[in-house]
Amino acid sequence: MLSKFADLARTNPFHSPVIRTDAAARGERSLSAASGSSDQCSCEYGSAKYFALCGFGGVLSCGVTHTAVVPLDLVKCRVQVDPAKYKNTFRGFRITFAEDGARGLAKGWAPTFIGYSMQGLCKFGFYEVFKSVYSNMLGEEKTYLYRTGLYLAASASAEFFADIALAPMEAVKVRIQTKPGWANTLREGVPKIWNSEGLGGFYKGLPPLWLRQIPYTMMKFACFERTVEALYKYVVPKPRAECSKSEQLVVTFAAGYIAGVFCAVVSHPADTVVSKLNSAKGSTAVQAAKELGMAGLWKGLAPRIVMIGTLTALQWFIYDTVKITFRLPRPPPPSMPESLKRKQ
């Protein structure tokens, strides 16, 4: 199946790290190479190795970053679930530290690391697969014209599967963090859910997780791709081909942070429902939303903007670093195909 994807990838407009121009066709040197000539890449775009390394980049970018901000995530979840006690972020940190000490702020790190590593594998790996497949279906001209829709469709498709991988660990994580005394470790939490609720307990939060993560990921990828394009076009004073690797990574980080702010706002109400749902046994998403009310759905937004903005920026930074380190093809921002230019 991967070989079939590779054949599709080689024919789509995203595949080449070098965009051909009229000058290149005449044998002149083109300045639109992403990272040098294609023979410097360690693998071919769309190959099994390419998709596997993209998935590995996703494991590192999501698993490491989400685990690093577990204390902030724990406090955010507690503010969402019990606003009467924790009230705000600073009070949440004070109460948690007073009750559980410094170790209490790290509760849920294991399911966070495992769950988000699995999610990152699917999120970034499948995004590259779906982007390649959908681009091939559209053709070169429509890929350029409707590229934002393509980014949205590819990221939504990838996140659908990524959340199935994440849901079991997310259920354990939220309960550890929001139900004091329920369990302190992953090894304690998994049997408790299995014995009391069976397999369904691990996936009870999947529908609201889709509602939270799919819009989040669509914004994350589409906003990032278009922001990178805009930064190189309007802000960076030279083409990407003339930027050093470190300069390219600075652009990646900036675009990632901008995308992260939008991600946090779009997905926050569903995130609050997920936290409430996993902490209240027998509750449904609709019941949780009604209990929270409109104001309650937006509790914890400020720390989530900080957390998600930083997370998203670091995730794109790590992902792009993995691509550079393993010398993967990194196509430049899209440019209008010559066939479309001739039609204008």
Query: In this structure, what are the phi and psi dihedrals at residue 183, rounded to the nearest 5 degrees?
Result: -165, 155
212, 187, 217, 192: which is closest to 202 by C-alpha? 192
Query: In this structure, what are the phi and psi dihedrals at residue 63, rounded to the nearest 5 degrees?
Result: -65, -50
Q: Which residues pair with 33 in a beta bridge?
A: 18
Q: Are 136 and 8 in contact (CB under 8 A)?
A: yes
- Alpha carbon distances (Å) from 193 to 143, 164, 220, 336, 341: 45, 17, 32, 53, 59
Tell me what pLDDT residue 96 has.
87
Tell me what pLDDT residue 12 has.
58
- Cβ-proximal residues to 56 (8 Å cutoff; 6+ apart), any chain: 121, 322
Per-residue pLDDT of the chain (344 residues; tens, 9 = 90+): 545 545 555 555 555 443 333 333 333 333 222 333 444 889 998 899 999 999 999 999 999 999 988 888 888 778 877 888 888 888 889 998 888 888 888 888 999 999 999 999 999 999 999 999 999 999 999 999 999 999 999 999 999 999 999 999 999 998 888 887 888 889 999 999 999 989 988 998 898 889 888 988 999 999 999 999 999 999 998 888 899 999 999 999 999 999 998 888 887 887 777 777 766 666 677 777 777 787 778 877 887 788 788 889 999 999 999 999 999 998 888 888 888 888 87
Rounded distance between C-alpha atoms, residue 311 and residue 309, angstroms: 5
